[in-house]
Amino acid sequence: MASISSLFTSLSSSFLFLFSFATSQSILLPTDRSNQAQNCPSSSSEPLSYNYPVIGIVTHPGDGASGRLSNATNASYIAASYVKFIEAAGARVVPIVYNEPEEIIAEKLKLVNGVIFTGGSAKTGPYFERIKNVFQIILDRNDEGEHFPLLAICLGFELVTKAVSKDNNILERFSAKNQASILQFVDNAATNISIFQRFSPQLIEKLSTDCLAMQNHIFGISPQRLQTNDALSNFFRILTTTPDKDGKIYVSSVQAYNYPVTALQWHPEKNVFEWGVSAIPHSEDAILVSQAVGNYFISEARKSSTRPSMKKVLDNLIYNYAPRFSGAVGSGFDEVYLFQ
């Protein structure tokens, strides 16, 4: 009975609400709406929040499938998970094909509001040279006053660590292949800056108990080594650390002090978009982690003052390429974009 009477109360209050609404403001039929101005200004009018952000993703050598898709010596790829991760946060992608001529890469970088360095294995050679060169362009643009963010993931973290320290032997070995892990905050303030701003307090708590961060690396850097390297410790603030399979602690997330540069040893894109390895966490919390990182990074890209020609953007978008389904051949990625 109680529930019926409370149902009645709520029905009658909604009826009263409708009634008072109808008397104070006559009900509009769809055809009457035309002279009611829809006052939603175009989202591009806010100068400091550009709502058409485009992200450059640097391709990685190879086909991403150990020769199952292509053996072309100049082939390079982007795992589609990075692309979808960016798209899901409200941005589009321009591939930066690492082995294209420097002038073309410079032109493409003028079309983008932020850059991603992906995971992978190429630690030396032309790829590392290209990453260093693009990293310098990113720093220069920030020094010139543009807010131009970088998200460096896994191998990207390692290469940026090498580039900042100018020490090709700075990395150490860790045992963290295909392992979901926790993230330990080095101090509470770390939750207030960088990607972790977008995490709810509950999710921040869970990061230190639940394995929500996907790791897949055999190199890394310990907090001690980072802190005792002047170049690195002046450049990066350590946000989180993580124990590897042997309990050895490595740095898992860093944020530059003076640049919108975030580097993660872990893979935010995999939780949502990669299914080939059973260790990848896909729980609702794991998905929230991915989305919070994507949303943070694109919020940084919206602050960039680059306003490229839309025609040039369209000509260079990743939509000019079709992803290939590579999950069925067990390549490690579900889909890849190939450039060759």
Interface with ligand NAG by CB under 6 A: which residues?
A: 67, 69-71, 74, 97, 99, 188-189, 192, 339-340
In angstroms, what is the minimal distance from the CB of 57 to ligand NAG?
15
Coil, strand or helix: which one is 180?
strand
Phi, psi of 186 (to 5 degrees): -75, -30
Give whichever of 34 and 73 is closer to ligand NAG, judged by the CB atom.
73
Give whichever of 97 and 153 is closer to ligand NAG, judged by the CB atom.
97
Give whichever of 77 and 148 is closer to ligand NAG, judged by the CB atom.
77
Strand ranges (DSSP E) for 162-285? 172-181, 184-185, 213-220, 236-243, 249-256, 261-264
Active site residue 267: yes
Quick one: which of 49, 54, 55, 160 has its CA closest to 115?
55
Give whichever of 26 and 188 is closer to ligand NAG, judged by the CB atom.
188
Active site residue 154: yes
C-alpha separations of 4 from 7, 8, 9, 10 in Å: 5, 6, 9, 10
In angstroms, what is the minimal distance from the CB of 121 to ligand NAG?
17
Exposed / middle / buried, residue 151 (Cβ in 10 Å: 0-12, 13-18, 19+): buried
In angstroms, what is the minimal distance from the CB of 338 to ligand NAG?
10
For the chain, first and last CA: distance in Å?
A: 72
Given the residues 60, 147, 154, 211, select the one marked as catalytic.
154
In angstroms, what is the minimal distance from the CB of 98 to ligand NAG?
9
| DSSP class per residue in 50-106 | -SS-EEEEE-EES-SSTTSS---TT-EEEEHHHHHHHHTTT-EEEEE-TTS-HHHHH
Give whichever of 142 and 191 is closer to ligand NAG, judged by the CB atom.
191
In angstroms, what is the minimal distance from the CB of 59 to ligand NAG?
8
**What residues are annotated to the active site?**
154, 267
